[in-house]
Amino acid sequence: MIRTIDFRSDTVTRPTAAMRDAMCRAEVGDDVMREDPAVNALEERSAQLFGKEAALFTPSGTMANLLAILSQTSPGDEILLHRESHIYYYEAGGYAAIAGCGVRLLHDAAAPKPGLITPSGLEAEIRPKDDHFPTPKLVTLENTHNRGGGVVWPLDLLGATAQVAKRRGLHVHLDGSRIWNASIALDVPLAELARPVDTISGCFSKGLGCPVGSILAGPRDVIDRARHRRKMLGGGMRQAGVLAAAALYALDHHLALLADDHRRARTLANGIAGCAPFELDPASVETNLVYIPINAESMHAGRDAVYWEARFVEAGLLCYAEGNDRVRLVTHLDLNDENIAEAIDRIRRITAD
């Protein structure tokens, strides 16, 4: 039996023994009554980390993003967001079903990396006030950009793009599920990355290795509204301090380790860049997501991403096909250097046939 190595997502990480200890020792209370010391500490610390007035702990990143929408829009408003964004692609249409918003999908060939938007590209899509049009109310951006390949927004581009939205009177939310990765990759503090936007979300349950939990940070009045909407959605939790304690532990002990995930992702990309069916440019790997484009020849031969996913899984490498022309491998806390070397070996072997 070959040993399975799980590259499907950084969400598969399990809490370490030390994290479980911290969870056991958490001082807890009823968080709906605002009496959970660990949750209060996490919300205060997160607000400070992101340089915002307040923060709110949520069960998931999807709920944090939905709350950002619910607290900064009204039904019938329009949200502008990239057509490859997580909020549009992977969050079950909550913006429409629950917030009642329409979307205007952005795509910008002039952007320096996939998933990003330029200031002029955004400006061109914001429609003027007109009785015929829905009211554009919110722009959401994503950093790192998942389907864009885990790429990081250049800080000046993020600032200039957010500035356009604000000048036109729109709010800006940053889906920062992997904002920690962006901060480590750029070596820039989280508050700097959050400064251009009104609200920002972050996931503790991805590369930081927590079992559950995300955060939404922003102005106090927005976070107050978000707290009310969280209750409405059924996301008010009671002794949630056991979860918040994991997040506090991760901020202390796991944040810096993301640099290892990034180094391993680059090692992996360099190790398989020469494999014939792929056209992987290792320079495109900026953080912990390795998207492997399948080349035209392999596609023509019917060996598309779904085929390669099956071959990888057969070889004990769990991963996902993304669409029919890319396979995604993700490095994370539960993988080590030996796992990476082993994966490179296996991939070279199966692609050499």
Ligand X SMILES: *Cc1c(COP(=O)(O)O)cnc(C)c1O
Q: Give the binding site for ligand X (CB under 6 A).
A: 60-62, 65, 86, 142, 146, 175, 177, 203, 205-206, 214
CA dihedral sign of residues 319, 321, 327, 329: negative
Closest CA relative to residue 90, chosen from 59, 62, 114? 62
Nearer to ligand X, 237 or 347 (CB): 237
Q: How many residues does the chain have?
A: 353
- State how far the Cα of 222 lies from the Cα of 141, in Å rounded to an integer: 18
Nearer to ligand X, 215 or 222 (CB): 215
Minimal distance, residue 60 CB to ligand X, in Å = 4
Minimal distance, residue 175 CB to ligand X, in Å = 5
Nearer to ligand X, 61 or 293 (CB): 61
Could you give the maximum distance between any two Cα atoms of the chain, in Å? 66
Minimal distance, residue 252 CB to ligand X, in Å = 21
The structure tokens listed for 153 are 């927004």
Nearer to ligand X, 147 or 346 (CB): 147
Minimal distance, residue 62 CB to ligand X, in Å = 3
- State how far the Cα of 288 lies from the Cα of 207, in Å rounded to an integer: 9
- State how far the Cα of 69 lies from the Cα of 138, in Å rounded to an integer: 8
Q: Closest residue to ligand X, Cβ-based?
A: 61
Minimal distance, residue 275 CB to ligand X, in Å = 26
Taking each helix axis from N to C end, the angle separating 61-70 and 220-232, rounded to the nearest 10 degrees, works out to 110
Nearer to ligand X, 79 or 347 (CB): 79
State the burial class of residue 169 (Cβ atoms within 10 Å of its Cβ: 0-12, 13-18, 19+).
Answer: exposed
- State how far the Cα of 330 lies from the Cα of 184, in Å rounded to an integer: 16
Minimal distance, residue 86 CB to ligand X, in Å = 3
Nearer to ligand X, 113 or 311 (CB): 113
- For 261-324, list the strands marked E by DSSP: 289-293, 317-318, 320-322
CA-to-CA separations, 125 to 78, 132, 148, 295, in angstroms, rounded: 11, 16, 20, 33
Nearer to ligand X, 171 or 178 (CB): 178
Minimal distance, residue 87 CB to ligand X, in Å = 7
